[in-house]
């Protein structure tokens, strides 16, 4: 996600916050996630950011309305751009989404797709083992293929033609998911979100994008930087500067 | 663990705290875990407990010395009783331990077994997928057998005769682990810990154990009680009373 945004808005500085002391969010309650998200928003506003991207599908699903209501700074989530992209590419209207247990239970994707009405229908499935499999480097392992077959069997039977990867970690499993689910379009929301961020920027602060130096990216984490580097290396392909902070 | 303690000390009231908002601890740093443990200790001392059991191997491995130094209330961990039990049952002295990444990296088991000197030798292996497999109800699944074969292969090759289950969740996988590792004694520390708790009690407060009513157990969690109930049902075989609190 951060990588896509950097590609779209190379001049902008990015403040990235990873809540490594409390991840994973995927099985936690709305109340906990809203509280965590508000604490992170407070951190972001202290850094006087111009815009916040909630780049976690669980946090987007559960905290976005509450954040939008509470803060003046524009807040962009990852649900809406993923759904729009799925609607754009789906031919049959039969769209699948996979995510964490809390994302699926929130109904956020259902509500978003319902806005488009027929023929669009959503089929969802939580895949709670995918995050630990990615984080423990089983991404290309036959164990992960077996888990994926188990999780995706039902969606396959529904005859979906498009599948939204509704969790930040799932794009790492693209090859596995593609092989298991067959001829289905996979929607990785990150480029859709980056497009949305750029549009919102141009609308609200057109001058913001014109500068003559490459933007900087600063990463902050709530627990040791070491564990974060282990995971972040899979996603970001540049050297990163990480600092631990207490929320 | 709580169940074993209740069996050993049926008259005592138990205050159980589950840090559901921040679990799993298994990949987190020493600094984070010590901070979490201190916050929970503050909660426990507010409840005027007579003794605290740090019933999580990761928290025991990383925070015990610091807690013992900071608090007057007796604090019992799960590392030392597990090691003593392993020494008692091992014939060859070749002892294995499996645990989370942070437990294994801490070296706590190594330091504890080193006190016994030769012929005791420790072989350790972190098994980070075991906790998510248990929590997602894959405990008796062939996927878990495959993961266990992968994790335990090296320990098997070392010819251990005893294996310490160094994480609260692993006793749920006893059948799988037993089948994969073969003729090896498994040490589930919970009864050893309960014995230690009883001994410490009798020493420090002999009158404490004599009362004429069955002790009560109260559970507190830092996130929604619902998720906790889903997991706790696997461990505790009694109806529980759960309350959410903010730390």
pLDDT band at B40 (very low <50, low <70, confident <90, very high): very high
In chain B, CATH 3.40.50.1860 covers 2-78+191-244, 79-189
At A23 the pLDDT is 94
Residues of A in contact with B59 (CB under 8 A): none
Tell me whether residues A29 and B223 touch, CB distance under 8 A. yes
Take residue A28 and report the two structure tokens written for it: 């936690």
At B208 the pLDDT is 59
Count A/B contacts: CB-CB distance under 8 Å.
62
Evaluate if residue A229 carries a pLDDT over 90. no
Asked if residue A208 lies in contact with residue A12, where contact means CB atoms within 8 angstroms, the answer is yes
Query: How confident is the model over B120-160, as pLDDT tens digits?
Result: 999 999 999 999 999 999 999 999 999 999 999 999 999 99
Evaluate if residue A207 carries a pLDDT over 80. no
Instruction: Give the span between the Cα atoms of A26 and A220, in whole angstroms.
Output: 20
pLDDT band at B227 (very low <50, low <70, confident <90, very high): confident
pLDDT band at B205 (very low <50, low <70, confident <90, very high): low
Query: How confident is the model over A17-45, as pLDDT tens digits?
Result: 999 999 999 999 999 999 999 999 999 99
Residue recorded with tokens 């990150």: A190
Evaluate if residue A57 carries a pLDDT over 60. yes
Evaluate if residue A225 carries a pLDDT over 90. no
pLDDT band at B211 (very low <50, low <70, confident <90, very high): low
CATH of domain A2-77+191-244: 3.40.50.1860
CATH topology of domain B2-78+191-244: Rossmann fold (3.40.50)
Biggest alpha carbon distance in chain A? 52
Asked if residue A166 lies in contact with residue A97, where contact means CB atoms within 8 angstroms, the answer is yes
At B207 the pLDDT is 63
Interface with chain A: mutation pick from B24, B27, B130, highest number of A CBs within 10 Å: B27
Helices (H), chain B: 2-8, 30-46, 57-70, 79-89, 101-106, 108-114, 130-135, 142-157, 174-181, 189-204, 225-235
pLDDT band at B238 (very low <50, low <70, confident <90, very high): confident
At B206 the pLDDT is 64
| Least reliable range by pLDDT among A224-228, B4-8, B32-36, B209-213 | B209-213
Domain A79-189 has CATH 3.30.559.10: no
At A101 the pLDDT is 96
In chain A, CATH 3.40.50.1860 covers 2-77+191-244, 79-189
Cβ-proximal residues to B175 (8 Å cutoff; 6+ apart), any chain? B140
The 8 Å CB, 24+ separation contacts for B60-66 are B60/B108, B61/B99, B61/B102, B61/B103, B61/B106, B61/B108, B61/B109, B62/B30, B62/B33, B62/B34, B62/B37, B62/B102, B62/B103, B62/B106, B62/B108, B63/B30, B63/B33, B63/B34, B63/B37, B63/B38, B64/B108, B66/B34, B66/B37, B66/B38
Chain centroid offset of residue A121 CA: 21
* Strand order, beta sheet including B94-99: B121-126, B94-99, B162-165, B185-188
CB atoms within 10 A of CB A162: 22
Evaluate if residue B203 carries a pLDDT over 90. no
Please give the backbone phi and psi of residue A127, each rounded to the nearest 5 degrees, phi first. Answer: -130, 65
Q: Which of A35, A79, A89, A82 is nearest to A192 (CA)?
A: A82
Residues of A in contact with B135 (CB under 8 A): 27, 128
Mean pLDDT over residues B5-14, rounded?
90
pLDDT band at A224 (very low <50, low <70, confident <90, very high): confident
Helices (H), chain A: 2-8, 30-46, 57-70, 79-89, 101-106, 108-114, 130-135, 142-157, 174-181, 189-204, 225-235
At B112 the pLDDT is 98
Evaluate if residue B14 carries a pLDDT over 90. yes
Mean pLDDT over residues A216-239, rounded?
82
Mean pLDDT over residues B39-67, rounded?
96
Query: How confident is the model over B73-113, as pLDDT tens digits?
Result: 999 999 999 999 999 999 999 999 999 999 999 999 999 99
Asked if residue B29 lies in contact with residue A228, where contact means CB atoms within 8 angstroms, the answer is no
pLDDT band at B166 (very low <50, low <70, confident <90, very high): very high
pLDDT band at A104 (very low <50, low <70, confident <90, very high): very high
* CA angle (A27, A28, A34) in 5-degree steps: 140
Instruction: Give catalytic residue positions of B.
Output: 56, 167
Partner residue facing B31 (CB), from A22, A142, A224: A224
Nearest residue in chain B measured CA to CA from A246: B32
Tell me whether residues B143 and A146 touch, CB distance under 8 A. yes
Q: For residue A95, what are the β-bridge partners?
A: A122, A162
Q: What is the mean pLDDT of chain A?
A: 93
Nearest residue in chain A measured CA to CA from B226: A29
């Amino acid at each position: 996600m951060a990588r896509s945004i950097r590609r779209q808005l190379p001049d902008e500085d990015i403040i990235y916050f990873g809540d490594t002391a409390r991840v994973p969010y995927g099985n936690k309650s709305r109340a906990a996630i809203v509280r965590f998200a508000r604490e992170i928003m407070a951190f972001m506003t202290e850094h006087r950011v111009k815009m916040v991207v909630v780049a976690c599908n669980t946090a987007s699903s559960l905290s976005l309305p509450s954040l939008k209501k509470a803060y003046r700074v524009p807040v962009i989530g990852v649900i809406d751009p993923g759904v729009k992209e799925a609607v754009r590419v789906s031919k049959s209207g039969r769209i699948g989404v996979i995510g964490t247990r809390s994302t699926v239970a929130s109904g956020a994707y259902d509500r978003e797709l319902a806005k488009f009405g027929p023929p669009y229908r959503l089929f969802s499935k939580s895949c709670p083992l995918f995050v630990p499999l990615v984080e423990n480097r089983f991404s290309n392992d036959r164990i992960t293929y077996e888990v994926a077959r188990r999780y995706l069997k039902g969606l396959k039977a529904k005859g979906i033609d498009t599948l939204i990867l509704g969790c930040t970690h799932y794009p790492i499993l693209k090859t596995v998911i593609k092989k298991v689910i067959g001829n289905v379009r996979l929607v990785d929301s990150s480029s859709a979100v980056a497009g949305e961020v750029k549009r919102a920027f141009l609308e609200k602060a057109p001058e913001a994008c014109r500068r003559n130096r490459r933007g900087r990216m600063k990463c902050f984490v709530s627990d040791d930087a070491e564990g974060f580097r282990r995971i972040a290396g899979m996603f970001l392909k540049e050297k990163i500067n990480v600092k631990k902070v207490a929320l």
